[in-house]
Amino acid sequence: MKLKMKKNTWIWGLPVFVILTIILYGCPTEKRLSGTGDAAEKVYVAPGEHDEFYGFFSGGYNGQVGVYGLPSGRHLYTIPVFSQSPTNGYGYSEETKPMLNTSHGFVPWGDAHHTELSQTDGVPDGRWLFINENNTPRIARIDLKEFDTHEIIEIPNSAGNHASSFVTPNTEYVSAGTRFSIPMDDKLQNEDVSIKSYKDNFKGTLSFIKVGNDGHMSIDFQILVPGFDYDLSHAGKGPSNGWAFFTSYNSEQANTLLEINASKNDKDFIAAVNWKKAAQYAADGKGAMMPGKHVHNWVDEAGIAHSETIDQVRVLDPSKLPGIIYYLPTPKSPHGVDVTPDGKYIAAGGKLSTIIPVHSFAKMIKAIDEKKFEGEVGGIPVLQYEAILHGEVKNPGLGPLHTEFDGKGYAYTTAFISSEIVKWDIESTKVVDRIKTYYSPGHLMIPGGDSQKPWGKYLVALNKITKDRYLPTGPELFHSAQLIDISGDKMKLLLDFPTEGEPHYAQAIPQEIISKNSVRFYKLDNNKNPYKTTSEADAKVVRKGNDVHVYLTAIRSHFTPDNIEGVKVGDKVYFHMTNLEQDWDIPHGFAMKGANTGELLVMPGQTRTLVWEPKEVGVQPFYCTDFCSALHQEMQGYVRVSPRGSNVKIAYGTGQ
């Protein structure tokens, strides 16, 4: 694709960055560490007391979400999302396996990047948490009453869903974007073409997933865009509500050795998308329904996951539907894009830039109205840089990446190479403070820091390199998060705490918004699983051909039934276990020797199903995996497995 605009090309060499880092910043120190006693007091949460905030940290390559308390840094829970979880059987049990279905089949792993809380009027509301999956493009919705994944939708016509999952101010939409552009024919089908034909054949899409009042997700439309790498996004708010902003790099459209070949242009782009206009085009039937096979998974009211395959999506071509997208020139290989709480300014983190460009939304609209364009790319107008610029933050550190806001007029940006957080005044764009981190922060998080109402008390630096911060654990180390006090004029380091997986982004919210609605157990009377057993008297074993269904109950401290006979080699045995407890924090586990699936961890009032296919004659034990009472060790049972074709009848019981 031809780039019809003026270009200034140059390359920053990494050695230059390293030398400048040493000259300008020297070696890291901890002079800004808050007094030991003062810091300890600020992060101390007394036994039996609760943290101020829930923190939701993406797990990166573990595919899950880590839940941490702030300010203590305590790891409270891990929410299974895109990867199987041996802890509780997510992705192993029959009720949850469909959640990991995709158009590529069952995918038991995911790369989870960016958490985003649902919002009302631009403020996090604690209903849901969204998170994207990068490798097999998907978005998940987590219900925060149960801390359970309720829905996952696949994103078609895309590869590397990185610019996701960011919501509009009233959670009308959640966004997605192509990180890895791919060759597409006129029907958006991936083509068998030479990789060297990148500039001629590769394209991307920006997707807008509609979110219903009940949370249900569906792809409303996709926008076809030139074949750049679309990296991150954020929606506008206040005056910029109705717009969304996506960074992109590789405007060179290189296909090999991108660290050099995608770093030549002086500026790349932020794509400014008028999503309200695009949504109206879609509602009016504009664009075209195109092939876009994707799988949608959801949990029904019985707690059982289902999958459906959808074959088409609506695609809008901005070269034919004007006014839905404009490119904002932005130096240099921009990564993060962040909108100020008042919605007036858009800040970009140019990885290879020596400044932080801050665009003005009002100036952008004026430039559009006055047609201050310096060119176009694929039919998309490119605005003049000077016409849209609010200001440039000078000396922001080396390798600026991401910015969040405290709601007091200040912005905070991570500098990866110089290992620091830089605080700057939004209106003046002047740097007012900086603090070292240990080491190399990627994202940062302020509770509510990307919303219209930041709770600007703490900042968490999500560092990519740990090195010597903790006791060594061999070559592989947990990542290091650092809690920083931003309540005063000067930032103060309070706490280091290790994080599971690789957190790419995090969100936090005052705990009282969520905790008051938290489900403690499931009422047996409301259990709608068709295989539920709500009393021991109803427990049974039923044969249907080679399928054996065990309707099993668990209560402190026994199973019913706990002796089962009549199972044969070659059978498929379904253990439908219902936890009869009706009290908080009394789960029961279930494990069967020789099962090739996983274990179950069943919450009070819940039913979960494990499948076992016995392959050997003999008596095999099963037991509870969660220590539930003083007689936990006695909570066990046996299954007799007879030869294939034998005449042993089904028999079962407890205490007989």
Confidence of residue 10 (pLDDT cuts 50, 70, 90): very low
Nearest Cα neighbor of 619 from 641, 590, 649 is 641
Q: How far is CA 296 from CA 102, 132, 213, in A?
A: 8, 14, 17
Task: Delineate the domains of the chain, giving CATH numbers in brackets.
Answer: 3-515 (2.130.10.10), 524-653 (2.60.40.420)
Residue 1 or residue 455, greater confidence: 455
pLDDT at 263: 95
pTM of the predicted model as reported, rounded to 2 decimal places:
0.94
184-193, 295-304, 477-486: which has the minimum mean pLDDT? 184-193
pLDDT of residue 19 exceeding 70, the answer is: no
Average pLDDT over residues 172-185: 95
What is the tens place of the pLDDT at every residue in 112-169? 999 999 999 999 999 999 999 999 999 999 999 999 999 999 999 999 999 999 999 9
What is the tens place of the pLDDT at every residue in 209-258? 999 999 999 999 999 999 999 999 999 999 999 999 999 999 999 999 99
pLDDT at 656: 82
Q: Give me the sign of the Cα torsion angle 565, 566, 568, 573.
A: negative
- Listed in sequence order, the residues at least 6 apart from 198 whose beta carbon sits closer than 8 Å to its beta carbon are 181, 183, 227, 253, 254, 255
pLDDT at 186: 86
What is the tens place of the pLDDT at every residue in 82-103? 999 999 999 999 999 999 999 9
Contact 204, 223 (CB under 8 A): no
Mean pLDDT, the chain, whole residue set: 94
pLDDT at 34: 56
pLDDT of residue 7 exceeding 70, the answer is: no
pLDDT of residue 20 exceeding 60, the answer is: no
What whole-number distance in Å separates Cα of residue 93 and Cα of residue 79? 16
For residue 192, count other CB atoms closer than 10 A to its CB.
5
What whole-number distance in Å separates Cα of residue 328 and Cα of residue 347? 11
What whole-number distance in Å separates Cα of residue 537 and Cα of residue 382? 72
Transcribe 317-373 into DSSP letters.
Answer: -TTTSTTSEEEEEESSSEEEEEE-TTS-EEEEEETT-SEEEEEEHHHHHHHHHTT-E
pLDDT of residue 56 exceeding 90, the answer is: yes
pLDDT at 188: 85
Confidence of residue 189 (pLDDT cuts 50, 70, 90): confident
Long-range contacts of 528-532 (CB under 8 A, 24+ apart): 528/301, 528/302, 528/303, 529/95, 529/302, 529/303, 529/304, 529/576, 529/578, 529/606, 529/607, 530/302, 531/574, 531/576, 531/607, 531/609, 532/576, 532/578, 532/607
pLDDT of residue 307 exceeding 80, the answer is: yes
pLDDT at 113: 97
pLDDT of residue 24 exceeding 70, the answer is: no
pLDDT at 33: 57
How large a percentage of the chain has pLDDT more than 70? 95
What whole-number distance in Å separates Cα of residue 421 and Cα of residue 413? 6
Contact 221, 210 (CB under 8 A): no
Q: How far apart are the first and last CA of the chain?
A: 77
Q: Which two tokens stand for residue 31?
A: 């002079």
What is the tens place of the pLDDT at every residue in 521-573? 999 999 999 999 999 999 999 999 999 999 999 999 999 999 999 999 999 99
